[in-house]
Every structure is written in structure tokens, then in C-alpha cells.
């Protein structure tokens, strides 16, 4: 069983466990991590209905699971407040902790509730989507949306424990698994080596939900993210590299009103766009071949208004500095660099993403 220990400069520590069947061992894992006392079990309602028996069984240890019908449009401070009320009703005390089981929306919200409730109690993240296992689980960013945009309120609050059980991913719709795999491929391009080779070998098997193909990919991506966030807890430096493919990706999501592409699909297209700007990069064709295997459900045709909106969104990207957009590019596989991009570069990357 791989356990990855992450120690932060702030003194916080997160243990990540990646193991098929880990969910059933959650009480023991929490005890090993020194968590005792009263607990509140907050679950994505869909996950609760799909994995009812396992989660009700956990209720014997953590108290009855609270199912929350969360979604991106309900990723609000009102939901955080409702979660805090549930914790209070369950008499979770200062010695207690929160266990969050669900996709990235649920874990971001529950993590924020844990950061605020009684001015902060420890929490355990049990991400149930591939995207959340490889990205949202680790790193301590918690948050909610405002009308003006996504994740505009939040707090850094490192989970004490992250438990990734690939068995949870078997009930995930195929499109959600492909979405998570785009982030895995992003990690593989940042890392190279074994993770890249495994992606090249096992991508389609992982997409079909085979736990033995998924588990090593989750582990590789988590190891990479662990290394990066440990070195850069508050996102001042290297953490920006995790935005590989996201400059174009975020623009595509914004230009289509967050409805046409899943996040991972937008990232997959963003990786194509990014590679168009990596002139002279060795093994660029190899990277492109892998990225092109990522499936996009509803095609990638944008009308001219949407293309224009995507270019404008890139200009507004929060990574824009002094009028220049900053792209993460690859000097080679495993060697990301930050580069300023001109308006022409942005247009070229967008065209390549949608070609």
C-alpha cells in the first residue's frame, strides 16, 4: 500500500493513501493518523446512493453519513454554512474532525467547512472522482464559487489524510474518467519517466475503469503533485506548472459557458494548444500522440463568437501580467517553463487546440 507523506513549511502534514479497498479501512487509517474524537461524515449524495452499503457501514464509526446534493452551481457559501450546521447538529467538537467523501466540488466545500467550523478542525479527504483523486484531493486549496467566478472564496487548509480508493472510480461515468485522465496526462508530460510510459500503455484500460490500470496512474499523479505542493504550499512558484494546458483550457470553458466541455476535455485541448507553442521541443510528436488519445465527448467545434470569447478570456487569465499572458510550456517532456505569450501566440495555440 503506497502511503505518500507530504510535509509543508507551515508544519502541516498530509498522508496520502492510494489503495483498492482503502475506503473500508478508513476508521483504521484515521486512527493511525491520530484522528479521534467526534467526527462528521459529509458525502456527495450521488456517491452515497451509489456506494450506500459501504458508506452506511462507515457510519458506525463516523456517525451517520450526511448526503449533500452538490454540483458546480451549488458550490456556494450557503452550502458551506449548511455543512457547518450539520457538523454542529452532530456535536462535532474542537477535538473532532471532518471526513469528506465525494468529487472535487464536495471536497472543496467540506474542506472549507472544516477550515471555518470552530475556527478550524482537521479533515480527511476521500476523493471519489479521478479528477479529484489526482488533483483536488491534495494541496489544501478549499473553496466555493461567487457569482463573478469559480473558487473566488476559500482558504488553504491541508487535509490530515487523503484516501484514494480506485474502487470508487468504477461507478464513475466514462466521460468523468476521461476528464480525470487529461490531468493524469498533464502530470505525465510534467514528469516523463514511468508515469508517461504507463499512460502510453494503459490509457484506454484506465478509461474503462480497470482498477489495476487506474491505481498506478493515480499514484504517479499524486506523487508529482505531492512534490510540487510540498515545495510551494501557497502557490508562489512551481505550483504554477500544474497549470500546464490550462491557459487555453480555462479560456475554452469560459467561452462556452462551462457547459460544452468537461474541465478535463478543456485541458486535453489546452495541452494540444500548448504543444503548438513548444517549438523545437524534442519528442513533441510523442507528447501530441498521447494527448490526441484523450477523448472529447461532444466534438470541438466553436463558432466564431466563441473563438473570439476564448481569445478575450485568455487575455483576462489571472496569470496575465503587464499585458502579457503567461503560458506553461515544455522545453522537453519533464521540463516545464513559464513563458510570456503574445496575442499571436494565443491565437496560434487556440487554433491548434481546435484543429
- Residues with active-site annotation: 119, 141, 183, 225, 235, 239, 243, 246, 250, 263
How far is it, in rounded angstroms, from Cα 341 to Cα 149?
24
How far is it, in rounded angstroms, from Cα 165 to Cα 20?
5
- Is 102 a residue that touches ligand NAD (CB under 6 A)? yes
How far is it, in rounded angstroms, from Cα 249 to Cα 271?
8
What is residue 282's three-state secondary structure?
coil
- Is 105 a residue that touches ligand NAD (CB under 6 A)? yes
| CB neighbour list of residue 35: distance below 8 Å, 6 or more residues apart | 97, 122, 124, 160, 161
Question: Sign (positive/negative) of CA torsion 206, 212, 214, 217?
Answer: negative
Q: How far is the CB of 101 from ligand NAD (least distance, A)?
A: 9
Selected binder of ligand NAD within 5, 72, 81, 340 (CB under 6 A): 72
Q: For residues 39 and 179, which CB has a smaller minimum distance to ligand NAD in the complex?
A: 179
Selected binder of ligand NAD within 19, 54, 79, 108 (CB under 6 A): 108
Selected binder of ligand NAD within 14, 39, 125, 129 (CB under 6 A): 129
Q: How far is the CB of 138 from ligand NAD (least distance, A)?
A: 8
How far is it, in rounded angstroms, from Cα 32 to Cα 163?
13
* DSSP letter string, 99-127: EEEESHHHHHHHHHHHHHGGG---EEEEE
- Is 171 a residue that touches ligand NAD (CB under 6 A)? yes
Q: For residues 18 and 131, which CB has a smaller minimum distance to ligand NAD in the complex?
A: 131
Selected binder of ligand NAD within 41, 136, 228, 255 (CB under 6 A): 136
Q: How far is the CB of 222 from ligand NAD (least distance, A)?
A: 12
Q: For residues 319 and 348, which CB has a smaller minimum distance to ligand NAD in the complex?
A: 319
How far is it, in rounded angstroms, from Cα 323 to Cα 320?
6
Q: Is residue 244 within 8 Å of residue 21, measured between CB atoms?
A: no
Selected binder of ligand NAD within 8, 19, 43, 44 (CB under 6 A): 44
Q: For residues 129 and 158, which CB has a smaller minimum distance to ligand NAD in the complex?
A: 129
Selected binder of ligand NAD within 135, 165, 232, 317 (CB under 6 A): 135
Q: Which of 65, 51, 46, 60 is nearest to 23 (CA)?
A: 51
- Is 104 a residue that touches ligand NAD (CB under 6 A)? yes
By CB under 6 A, which span of 79-87, 165-173, 319-327, 347-355 interacts with ligand NAD? 165-173
- Is 58 a residue that touches ligand NAD (CB under 6 A)? no
The contacts found for 265-268 with CB under 8 angstroms, 24 or more apart, are 265/178, 265/179, 265/182, 265/294, 265/296, 265/297, 267/182, 267/183, 267/186, 268/178, 268/182, 268/185, 268/294, 268/296
Backbone angles phi, psi at 160, to 5 degrees: -70, -30
Q: What dihedral angle (degrees, nearest 10) is formed by the CA atoms of 89, 90, 92, 96?
A: -160
Q: For residues 26 and 277, which CB has a smaller minimum distance to ligand NAD in the complex?
A: 26
Selected binder of ligand NAD within 41, 83, 110, 168 (CB under 6 A): 168
Q: For residues 104 and 245, which CB has a smaller minimum distance to ligand NAD in the complex?
A: 104
Here's the x/- map for ligand NAD, 251-290, by CB under 6 A: it reads as: ----------------------------------------
The secondary structure of 123-170, three-state, reads EEEEECCHHHHHHHCCCCEEEEEECCEEEEEEEECCCCEEEECHHHHH
Straight-line distance from the first to the last Cα atom of the chain, in angstroms, rounded to the nearest whole number = 42
Q: How far is the CB of 29 from ligand NAD (least distance, A)?
A: 18
Q: For residues 39 and 128, which CB has a smaller minimum distance to ligand NAD in the complex?
A: 128
- Is 131 a residue that touches ligand NAD (CB under 6 A)? yes
Residue count, binding to ligand NAD (CB under 6 A): 26
Residues at the interface with ligand NAD (CB under 6 A): 44, 46-47, 50, 72, 75, 102-106, 108, 128-129, 131-132, 135-136, 139, 141, 150-151, 168, 171-172, 176
Amino acid at each position: 500500500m503506497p502511503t505518500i507523506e507530504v510535509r509543508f513549511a507551515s508544519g502541516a502534514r498530509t498522508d496520502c493513501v492510494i489503495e483498492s479497498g482503502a475506503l473500508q479501512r478508513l476508521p483504521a487509517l484515521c486512527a493511525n493518523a491520530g484522528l479521534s474524537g467526534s467526527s462528521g461524515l459529509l458525502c456527495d449524495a450521488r456517491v452515497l446512493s451509489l456506494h450506500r452499503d459501504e458508506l452506511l457501514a462507515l457510519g458506525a464509526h463516523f456517525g451517520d453519513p450526511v448526503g449533500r446534493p452538490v454540483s458546480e452551481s451549488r458550490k456556494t457559501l450557503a452550502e458551506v454554512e449548511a455543512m457547518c450546521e450539520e457538523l454542529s447538529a452532530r456535536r462535532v467538537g474542537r477535538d473532532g474532525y471532518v471526513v469528506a467523501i465525494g468529487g472535487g466540488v464536495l471536497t472543496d466545500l467540506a474542506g472549507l467547512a472544516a477550515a471555518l467550523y470552530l475556527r478550524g478542525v482537521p479533515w480527511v479527504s476521500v476523493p471519489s472522482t479521478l479528477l479529484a483523486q489526482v488533483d483536488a484531493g491534495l494541496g489544501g486549496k478549499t473553496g466555493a464559487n461567487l457569482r463573478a467566478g469559480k473558487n473566488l472564496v476559500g482558504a488553504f487548509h491541508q487535509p490530515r489524510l487523503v484516501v484514494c480508493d480506485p474502487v470508487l472510480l468504477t461507478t464513475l461515468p466514462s466521460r468523468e474518467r476521461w476528464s480525470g485522465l487529461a490531468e493524469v496526462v498533464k502530470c505525465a508530460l510534467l514528469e516523463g519517466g514511468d508515469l508517461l510510459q504507463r499512460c502510453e500503455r494503459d490509457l484506454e484500460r484506465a478509461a474503462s475503469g480497470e482498477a489495476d490500470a487506474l491505481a498506478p496512474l493515480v499514484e504517479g499523479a499524486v506523487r508529482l503533485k505531492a512534490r510540487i505542493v510540498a515545495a510551494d504550499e501557497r502557490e508562489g512558484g512551481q505550483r504554477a506548472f500544474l497549470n500546464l494546458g490550462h491557459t487555453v483550457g480555462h479560456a475554452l470553458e469560459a467561452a462556452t459557458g462551462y457547459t460544452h466541455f468537461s474541465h478535463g476535455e478543456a485541458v486535453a485541448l489546452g495541452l494540444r494548444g500548448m504543444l503548438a507553442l513548444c517549438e523545437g521541443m524534442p519528442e513533441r510528436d510523442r507528447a501530441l500522440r498521447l494527448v490526441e488519445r484523450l477523448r472529447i465527448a461532444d466534438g470541438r467545434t466553436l463558432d466564431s463568437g466563441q473563438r473570439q470569447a476564448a481569445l478575450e478570456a485568455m487575455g483576462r487569465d489571472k496569470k496575465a501580467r503587464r499585458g502579457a499572458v503567461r503560458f506553461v510550456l515544455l522545453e522537453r517532456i519533464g521540463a516545464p517553463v513559464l513563458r510570456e505569450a503574445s496575442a499571436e501566440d494565443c491565437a496560434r495555440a487556440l487554433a491548434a487546440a481546435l484543429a
